[in-house]
Structure 1
Amino acid sequence: MNRRTPAATSLALLLALALLGAGCTGGVEGTPGAAGLRDPYFPGLGNGGYDVTHYSLKLDIGPSADDKRRPTGDKSPADDKRGPADGTSSPSAQPSDRPADRLRGTATITARATQDLSAFHLDLAGLDVEGATVEGRPAAVNRAGKELIIRPGSAVEDRLRKGRTFTTVVRYSGSPQTITDPDGSKEGWLRTADGAVALGEPTGSMAWFPGNHHPSDKATYDIEVTVPDPLTAVSNGELISRRTEDGRTTYHWRTAEPMASYVATLAVGRFSTHQSATPDGIRLFTAVDPESEAASEEVLDGIPAVLAWAAEKFGPYPFTSAGAIVERTGDAEYALETQNRPVFPGPPDTALLVHELAHQWFGNSVTPKSWRDMWLNEGFATYAEWLWAADHDDVPVEESFDEAYEDDANWAFPPAGPPSAADISEAPVYGRGAMVVHRLRLAIDDDEAFFDLVRGWTETHRHGNASTDDFTAYVEEETGEDLTELWDDWLYGESRPPVED
């Protein structure tokens, strides 16, 4: 399965482009940016012809005009997309209204053209577009499925030349969608008992703002969210300001380091919030549903210790803020490594906290070039769990490795080659991915050299993107070793290789 639009939608897209090209005179010389980036699993995701540098989102969120509650469905638990720590789930509460059902937004998108553009695309699922401008001038807007097609007028043609920076403003509104993944799980805009939470892996961020929603296009963010009191709006980065007027409060969140859209989040609801800082100055912000507060307190108090431990293993923490968002059990059905503060579907245990915080290095700072490279995120985050268990719970890494090795689920396919989009969150990406990391450690046969290698990897690709080929080339260059056999057996091999007793 993939995110290609149906045939009828594809035809509509082609017709829309043809009409734009034929019906507009005096437009920008150049060619339209591609409608997708040909990701191996989501070929229609993302857009070509430009690189986004900054999103400024101004969102106003409120209840629906009626009290009808739309079902949100269940999420299959699987590691990052795992259920609560105790493995249980419960149905979302059914409130008498829908306090975060409607959204009105203005997205200001700053981008650099990578070709001479006559038109370009944005990914947006659902929602009604009220209009768009490019460089302050009205632009033609067409819709074709999840593609929003923007064609500027000739007055701004110089700003869409290759290498130039331009600004697009899109005004939109509506009831954001819950998106069903190829594996049947739910993402996008998930309505909760007292609000909503936006989760974006792999495609869900297009449900609440227009953009270039492929992990290879990272950007900085300013997100201003206005919600009715007593709700709180929590997002990524640092809280810059909070102001209340006429019973509504606006929260301004800023993410100064580049972020892939799939780890952008927005949680709206009744939260107990806490702000502090680690001894080395990382700002901490936690938001916890009151029903989960007591059971979460001890684990969340451990965030500074986990960050300090991880920094020793993986290098300096790559961001200026950290924390967590903890929903009540049943509001979401899986944890996700949203940047700076992961979202948890109820009180997490320490292993899950370690996993999601490790993602701040592996996935959030060093982000995959495509969804085929997801094992680099999950393999290292799972290995972080093994390392923590060895250092704190007297469980040797070899024991964790052996347990994963004996688990048949980890051998369904190679971690670097999930057979379809429905498989990118399955066991081999996690467990066998971690086995690749451990076999590399054994091949190097020097723990100091191994962790120097890992810290060098996170430093080399800090706030960037990297592929599996980038990783294997980096390792061989740094070690001076030909590790073809290791990659063939553990990363790409179809069968379970033997191990020495």
Structure 2
Amino acid sequence: MKLYFLLPLVTFCCVCSLVSSAQDVTETTRFTRADTLRGTLTPLRTCYDVKFYHLDVKFDLADRFISGSNRFKFAAVSDFNRLQFDLFENLHVDSVVYRSGKLPFKREANAVFVSFPENIKKGSSDEFTVFYSGHPTVTKRAPRDGGVVFSTDAAGKPFVATACEGTGASIWWPNKDHLSDEVDSMLISISVPTGLKNVSNGRLQQITDLKNGYTRFDWYVANPINNYNVAANIGDYTHFSDTYKGESGLLNLDYWVLPENKEKAVPQFKKSVPQMLAAFEYWFGRYPFYKDGYKLVDVPYPAMEHQGAIGYGGFLKGFPPNEMHAVGGKEVWDFIIVHESAHEWFGNNITAKDLADLWIHESFGTYAESLFIEYLYGKQAGQDYVAQNRAHIKNESAIVAPYHMNKMGSGEMYGKGSVLLNMVRIIINDDVKWRKILRGLNAQFRHRTVTYADIVNYISLQSGEKLNTIFDQYLRFKDIPKLELSTVKGELNCRWIADVKDFNMPIRLKFKDAEYQWIYPSSKFKPLGISGATKDNVEIDTANFLVKVEVR
């Protein structure tokens, strides 16, 4: 999750065919062959559906070298004898093994093309294993830049972690590196120098002393997981735990921190995590991964929403702004726990099929912060929090990026996206229905990958409101709509000016010191239909609606 420092008190974390003429793409956008190979679902990728990975990797920390294998168990979606998987070209493919034999392969950029000796038939189940090694990409700006972070703790011991959202999981392990294909389950085996521990996603199954100076930690993920969420976290960890009685029963809470941080972590985690879970289970429904449990893991970078193993860098010195926030002078809350854990519902439970739609993760994740505030301190406090998100909205580029190019949209997906969702709530004008929609999204699309249309159509259908043009204008185009007011023959008229054809959004106005009432402008001038309304005595609700107003 990329970090955008937009507000003095709030950090927004993380993060071919286009979207027809509705897509506003900046003219400077340039794509490479590597972008196409990563972003496009060609027949060489859609021919197989990966069901299970067994990732088995040894970390040589002294040499910053990794070696190991990944086993692909898949179902054939069509007949094929050739497929593509992905691995960054700085890592070496040692061999691809299939039924005890080695398969020929070719590489182009970060794509690997494997040929099979005979056709694999549609509907069949099969597997192959990729053996690989090399020096992975090292990053000092995770999660902004993907790769492996090599650092040390206060005692000088190794402190190492992976983070690869946006860049792609193939920066450190071989896989079908596309968000549309999540495995149903996974075994993660990480071998580290004896004396250190590895913490990954899922539940710890076994610790094995390999008798060669290394210890292997086996973690099993029982739920579907997207590739960039798979994590290795290596350090001199200490562990403590708790439980939470939630909507699906008892949820295991596990915390892995460096010894130097345990004294701070114990009271902070045991207070903040139950608060977060209570708020988000109320708004979004049951925590999606009871089988795997919930973990916070100390990491040497700010934060990351790794499924069931949230990367928590809140102990980093100088991390701006301070991860602890207060509402109206009341008790503080932990931004990292709240924002990153919101992704367990939006991002991990519901995952965008294409990186271009990362707003599904980040707009909802940022908006969830205000819902957390509302749950604890009341609706007005939550609305005040949303209002802060407007401070640095620049409307410089579209939130939805070009599809099939492994491209993320602009950082506006955080603040502007959260304001959009709050506007939709106001338009629906029924908080009971809005909560039902948020919970319904997580039930309808539980453990699934989704498209833009899946989310927008669901909200529109369940709300009974025509919301498609609203989402399109705010997400697919950089500019916000303009409400034009004009007096015609003594009567106040209005219309919308927008990029989206037939843009149609209700909005509120009021006479000074009166209650808000709704008007329903369209793309054509028409009377407001409110007796006595003039350009001088009405106020448009620009506090809650992100629009321009022009009076002629």
1:166 has 2:129 as partner? no
The alpha-carbon distance between structure 1 residues 489 and 177, as it changes in their structure 2 partners (threshold 3 A), is closer
1:408 has 2:393 as partner? yes
Note the 1:407-426 alignment, pairs <5 A. 407-409=392-394, 411-417=395-401, 424=408, 426=410
- Per mean C-alpha deviation after superposition, the further-off stretch among 104-113 and 291-300 is 291-300
CA–CA distance in structure 2, aligned partners of residues 314 and 494 of structure 1? 29
1:352 to 323, 331, 336: 336
CA–CA distance in structure 1, aligned partners of residues 206 and 143 of structure 2? 38
Query: Aligned partner of 2:51: which letter?
Result: T
Would you say the 8 A contact 2:400–2:410 is kept in 1? no
CA–CA distance in structure 1, aligned partners of residues 100 and 417 of structure 2? 47
The alpha-carbon distance between structure 1 residues 3 and 238, as it changes in their structure 2 partners (threshold 3 A), is farther
1:38 has 2:16 as partner? no
1:230 corresponds in structure 2 to 195
The structure that is strand-richer by fraction is: 2
Shift, 1:298, TM fit: 3.1
The alpha-carbon distance between structure 1 residues 447 and 130, as it changes in their structure 2 partners (threshold 3 A), is same
1:144 corresponds in structure 2 to 108
Shift, 1:490, TM fit: 3.4
Shift, 1:362, TM fit: 0.1
Shift, 1:423, TM fit: 8.2
2:318 corresponds in structure 1 to none
2:16 corresponds in structure 1 to none
1:261 corresponds in structure 2 to 227
1:105 corresponds in structure 2 to 68
2:240 corresponds in structure 1 to 274
1:248 corresponds in structure 2 to 214
Structure index of larger Rg: 2
1:307 has 2:277 as partner? yes
Shift, 1:184, TM fit: 10
CA–CA distance in structure 2, aligned partners of residues 211 and 258 of structure 1? 15
1:318 has 2:302 as partner? no
1:50 corresponds in structure 2 to 48
Shift, 1:210, TM fit: 0.7
- Per mean C-alpha deviation after superposition, the further-off stretch among 454-463 and 276-285 is 276-285
Would you say the 8 A contact 2:57–2:66 is kept in 1? yes
1:24 corresponds in structure 2 to none
2:82 to 92, 113, 119: 119
Shift, 1:401, TM fit: 2.7
The alpha-carbon distance between structure 1 residues 442 and 283, as it changes in their structure 2 partners (threshold 3 A), is same
2:357 corresponds in structure 1 to 373
1:337 corresponds in structure 2 to 305
Shift, 1:303, TM fit: 1.4
What fraction of aligned residue pairs are identical, expressed as a percent? 24
CA–CA distance in structure 2, aligned partners of residues 161 and 418 of structure 1? 33
Cα deviations across residues 125-156 of structure 1 (Å, max 9, x unaligned)?
A: 122222112233321132222122211223xx
Higher relative contact order (CA closer than 8 Å, sequence separation 6+) = 1
CA–CA distance in structure 2, aligned partners of residues 338 and 470 of structure 1? 24
1:363 corresponds in structure 2 to 347
CA–CA distance in structure 1, aligned partners of residues 110 and 458 of structure 2? 37
The alpha-carbon distance between structure 1 residues 265 and 184, as it changes in their structure 2 partners (threshold 3 A), is closer
2:95 to 131, 148, 155: 131
The alpha-carbon distance between structure 1 residues 406 and 275, as it changes in their structure 2 partners (threshold 3 A), is closer
Would you say the 8 A contact 1:36–1:47 is kept in 2? no
Cα deviations across residues 324-343 of structure 1 (Å, max 9, x unaligned)?
A: 1112xxx32x3111111211
CA–CA distance in structure 2, aligned partners of residues 175 and 326 of structure 1? 24
Shift, 1:256, TM fit: 1.0
Shift, 1:259, TM fit: 0.6
2:146 corresponds in structure 1 to 187
Query: Aligned partner of 1:139: which letter?
Result: L
The alpha-carbon distance between structure 1 residues 417 and 149, as it changes in their structure 2 partners (threshold 3 A), is closer
1:482 to 442, 452, 466: 466
Shift, 1:485, TM fit: 4.7
Q: Any runs of at least 4 consecutive aligned residues in structure 1 with deviations exceeding 4 A, and if so which?
A: 34-37, 417-423
CA–CA distance in structure 2, aligned partners of residues 236 and 54 of structure 1? 14
Superposition RMSD on alpha carbons, in Å? 2.9
Q: Report the TM-score when normalising by structure 2.
A: 0.71
Shift, 1:418, TM fit: 7.7
The alpha-carbon distance between structure 1 residues 214 and 103, as it changes in their structure 2 partners (threshold 3 A), is same
Gaps of 5+ in 1: 11-33, 66-100
Query: Aligned partner of 1:38: which letter?
Result: T
What SS does the aligned partner of 2:436 have?
helix
Shift, 1:5, TM fit: 4.4
What SS does the aligned partner of 2:106 have?
strand
Would you say the 8 A contact 1:35–1:121 is kept in 2? no
Q: Report the TM-score when normalising by structure 1.
A: 0.78
1:239 corresponds in structure 2 to 204
2:160 to 185, 189, 196: 196
What SS does the aligned partner of 2:217 have?
strand
The alpha-carbon distance between structure 1 residues 367 and 227, as it changes in their structure 2 partners (threshold 3 A), is same
CA–CA distance in structure 1, aligned partners of residues 409 and 269 of structure 2? 25
The alpha-carbon distance between structure 1 residues 448 and 152, as it changes in their structure 2 partners (threshold 3 A), is same
Query: Aligned partner of 1:311: which letter?
Result: E
Would you say the 8 A contact 2:47–2:77 is kept in 1? yes
CA–CA distance in structure 2, aligned partners of residues 50 and 151 of structure 1? 13
